[in-house]
Amino acid sequence: MDLLSASAVNWSRAQFALTAGYHWLFVPLTIGLGLIMAIMETLYVRTGDEKWKFATKFWQKIFGINFAIGVATGIILEFQFGTNWSNYSWFVGDIFGAPLAIEGIFAFFMEATFISVMFFGWNRVSKKMHLASTWLVFIGASLSAFWILVANAWMQYPVGMEFNPESVRNEMNDFWAVAFSPVAYNKFLHTTFSCWAVGAAFGTGVSGWYLLKKQHTDFAIKSIKISALVGLVAFVMLAVTGDGSAYHVAQKQPMKLAAMEGLYKGKEGAGLVAIGMLNPAKMVYNDNVDPYIFKIELPKLLSLLGYRNINAFVPGIADIVDGGYALKDGTTALPFAERQARGRKAIQALADYQVAKEEGRDTDAANHETILRENYAHFGYGYLENGEDLIPNVPLTFYSFHLMVIIGMYFILFFLIVLYFIYKKSMSTTRWLQYVALWSIPLAYLAGQLGWVVAEVGRQPWTIQDILPVQAAASAVTTGNVKTTFFMFAVLFTGLLIAEVTIMVKQIKKGPDTITTDEV
């Protein structure tokens, strides 16, 4: 790859990361508040207490502001698959496009239909019908997220497909394998719980601000009760599904796991790093420099989490590049050089197949196709230059992962403390906890962003694991064009974020008491 195209690819990656990062500021709050306001309206319908109705309508307004801006960033994000990653779209569009199309049905039909009833149906439809519409908005948003995450999970673990050498496209041959792969459903659960966590932290923090101001106290306490319960459940389940994620990463993306733990040399009974500092002098994966300045390790826990065996061998970065260790199926891991050679053999076989087909040499074409299929599992390695290309940004992946875990542990403790003070009926007078609640809001957002950093940076250099690296997936666009749109989007998204925060802050300052039972 020449420097110009490398620069274009890196700017395309930066632009996609920018768009996805901004988009993920809006999605978690949409899904998280969707659950909270649905629970509140359920309590209103069951008890007839108008205060629960006021609370529901207040959070619905915050939900609506956030939802509207989230849609804008989501549309731009999907367009970038065609503008910046057209080779990717061509190569796997038959598979990747299916869940995106289904997501569009949920997002623009199911959600759009019931969100109108939710906002404009107060006093126009029955209580139960309105409650159903609120729950269906939440369910629709969650199902939209499910299909997006199915598409992302397939990129991490491509299944249910077959490569067609005539069209040079991967084609889906098992929809259910794509939709319900173990990576897909675990990713959906983990991501959904992270959305609940953001909504819970936001609801608790805003309510804490009301308590600090000694305003809307009853509303704030009611909101904290619901938000804190949702938050505690969310973070406990994040720990459970995080364990599932670690297992699947160990099985399907061992290089990502090695980067998450800064593990350069594999070992049996590998420990999990609880906290540590990487050594910046570690420049080459196979040198003798200690990768850590210091670390505190939990013995054998990484082997247990990754392989369900405390004595299992966990390959490090050097092992994955150099190969030679035993795999779960009894075979031996191939070194990069061998996988590169097989990948280039597959790429050449594809080219030879197309030539033979054009010239009508069907027997030769069949032979080339056989060679292609025998080596297709290594196809993407043919585009890489050396073993170091397999290694993601280890410091970014390592620190993102460990900070995310620390924040998760913090929030479990935080919500337990909040619920204790609610139980003691002293939340409204405990100012230090009210401040902590308010300033914990950014931490929940940060944890979600860090999770995506680990997921996406950790799988580099692949857009599709082992099949298509980023440099082969990008569009043939100039660096200048990508830079221009990058800064245009940066200004646009920043403006949208400022607008959203400004509008939400104004609405929060108004408070729930400005909502009357006659309001539509």
Q: What is the pLDDT of residues 241-270, one digit of tens each?
A: 999 999 999 999 999 999 999 999 999 999
Number of H helices, E strands in the chain: 18, 8
Whether residue 67 is contained in a domain is answered as yes
Closest by Cα among 175, 173, 178 to 162:
173
User: Residues 190, 267: one domain?
Assistant: no
User: Residues 419, 276: one domain?
Assistant: no
3-47 and 441-457 helices cross at what angle (nearest 10)?
Answer: 140
Q: What is the pLDDT of residue 4?
A: 44
Whether residue 396 is contained in a domain is answered as yes
Mean pLDDT of 402-430: 96
Whether residue 39 is contained in a domain is answered as yes
Entry pTM: 0.92
b/e 384-422 (16+ beta carbons within 10 angstroms → b):
beebebbbbebebbbbbbbbbbebbeebbebbebbbebb
User: Residues 156, 173: one domain?
Assistant: yes
User: Residues 354, 501: one domain?
Assistant: no
User: Residues 232, 316: one domain?
Assistant: no
Whether residue 330 is contained in a domain is answered as no
User: Residues 37, 170: one domain?
Assistant: yes
Q: What is the pLDDT of residue 100?
A: 84
Domain count of the chain?
3
Whether residue 157 is contained in a domain is answered as yes
**Domain hosting residue 359, numbered range:** 336-383
Whether residue 145 is contained in a domain is answered as yes
Q: What is the pLDDT of residue 5?
A: 62
Asked if residue 283 has pLDDT above 90, the reply is no
Note whether 246 and 303 are within 8 A (CB): no
**pLDDT per position as a tens digit, 337-367:** 999 999 999 999 999 999 999 999 999 999 9
Q: What is the pLDDT of residue 459?
A: 93
At 104, is the pLDDT very low, low, confident or very high (cuts 50, 70, 90)? Answer: confident
User: Residues 405, 379: one domain?
Assistant: no
Domain boundary among 383, 418, 452: 383
User: Residues 121, 207: one domain?
Assistant: yes
Amino acid sitting at position 4:
L
d(CA 457, CA 398): 10
User: Residues 242, 378: one domain?
Assistant: no
C-alpha pair distances (Å), 462 with each of 384, 457, 471, 475: 10, 9, 9, 15
Q: What is the pLDDT of residue 271?
A: 95
Domain boundary among 322, 348, 364: 322
Whether residue 519 is contained in a domain is answered as no
Q: What is the pLDDT of residue 517?
A: 36
Q: What is the pLDDT of residue 513?
A: 65
Share of the chain above pLDDT 90, in %: 79
User: Residues 16, 157: one domain?
Assistant: yes
Q: Which residues partner with 169 through β-bridges?
A: 164
Whether residue 331 is contained in a domain is answered as no
d(CA 311, CA 441): 40
Average pLDDT, the chain: 92
Q: What is the pLDDT of residue 101?
A: 84
Sign of the Cα pseudo-torsion (355, 358, 359, 362, in order): positive
Which has the minimum average pLDDT: 4-18, 45-59, 195-209? 4-18
User: Residues 24, 147: one domain?
Assistant: yes
Q: Cis omega (within 30 of 0) on the bond before 461?
A: yes
Closest by Cα among 381, 342, 375, 339 to 469:
381
